[in-house]
Structure 1
Amino acid sequence: MTHGQDIETLFVAAHTLSRLAALETANETPSAQWRTLTILRDHGPLRVGELARLSRVTQPGMTRLTGQMVEQGLLTRATDAADSRATVLAVTPLGLEALQTWLLHLTSALAPHFADLTEQEWDALRTTAQVLTRNLARATASAEVAR
């Protein structure tokens, strides 16, 4: 198998895992909400346009979603310190708690699918996750600098 095929297999497996997670949790919350909370947790406060770009949704769609999330108390809006005409969105403690609760529920729902792994396989998954996290963080930072 080539390195390209390995990346493809990993990518397809990640999508399959995401779909399985959605089915197993039967969560009615749109995945865009969890993605938005995660992005704001990881990047800090952002303008709607930047949040939409990172989430790969339209700005009007993100405006609608974040408006609902502000109403639910998951996000706050504040004036952008760099430009008082603009606003930034930030995740609230309630939003972080909701995200953490969902991640625990997700982990619990998926755990049975990994119950038969050996310690060596767990080590391989742990290493893979660490490599992905490191490389994707670096790639994301490079993409943001180039922008």
Structure 2
Amino acid sequence: MPKVTPKPTTIEHVDLDVLENTLSFYIRTMNIAVSRDLDERLEGYDVARGTGKITTLLLVDSHPGIRPSVIAQIIMKDRSAMGRLIDQMIEHGLLTRQTSERERRAHELFVTPKGAELAATIRPIVTEQSKDFFSFIAEEEQAQVMDILRRAYRKMVGMTGEQH
């Protein structure tokens, strides 16, 4: 007669199977939790909900004239998804797109005054959210995790050299 295991009625009774020792499981679930928390803090702002808007706004604000293809590589979005994201941000009055004077087929992105104001508003929110969300992890451990994730990320997107 096969062994019958009781059905879990609470989270404490669930065995995570191979996921227990799978880094990707924890990274995916942490991404969901961090995103939800950040979305709550940014509720009502044009960059809430969805991925890539915050990074796009901050990169365009920091690097006027940056090309959409560069941002797409940084946030790991394909060309069509990046195009939709930029169109949405233009519709919300956060960015403008201009044809490059040097390369007629290339586009460059710039923040509008509204976009610059929003970037200035969300920078401290994003920084504080990360600090608060991971406050249960000691700062030196956070620094270690940040170093590991930074190196992995930079390798995945093809960035070279150290930058902190």
**TM exceeds 0.5?**
yes
User: Which amino acid is the alignment partner of residue 132 of structure 1?
Assistant: L
**Matches for 1:1-147 after TM superposition, within 5 Å:** 5-30=22-47, 31=50, 32-40=52-60, 41=62, 45-47=66-68, 51=71, 54-56=76-78, 58=81, 61-69=84-92, 72=93, 74-91=94-111, 95-108=115-128, 112-115=132-135, 117=136, 121-141=138-158
Q: State the TM-score, normalizing by the size of structure 2.
A: 0.58
CA distance in 2 between partners of 1:112 and 1:131 (Å): 20
Larger Rg: 2
Where does the alignment leave 5 or more consecutive residues of structure 1 unmatched?
Answer: 143-147
CA distance in 1 between partners of 2:122 and 2:103 (Å): 34
Q: State the TM-score, normalizing by the size of structure 1.
A: 0.62
Kept in 2, the 8 Å contact 1:52–1:62? The answer is no
1:72-125 Cα deviation digits (max 9, x unpaired): 3x434332245314432134676455224213124445655555x36xx22111
Instruction: Give aligned pairs, total.
Output: 135
Where does the alignment leave 5 or more consecutive residues of structure 2 unmatched?
Answer: 1-17, 160-164
Distance 1:50 1:106, change over 3 A: closer
User: Which amino acid is the alignment partner of residue 20 of structure 1?
Assistant: D
CA distance in 2 between partners of 1:42 and 1:4 (Å): 40
Supply the RMSD in Å over aligned alpha carbons. Answer: 3.8
CA distance in 2 between partners of 1:140 and 1:130 (Å): 16
CA distance in 2 between partners of 1:75 and 1:18 (Å): 23
Higher helix share: 1
CA distance in 2 between partners of 1:35 and 1:114 (Å): 20
1:47-92 Cα deviation digits (max 9, x unpaired): 4x665674455365235314225xx3x4343322453144321346
Kept in 1, the 8 Å contact 2:41–2:125? The answer is no
Report the 3-state secondary structure (helix = DSSP H, G, I; strand = E; otherwise coil) of the residue aligned with 2:22. Answer: helix
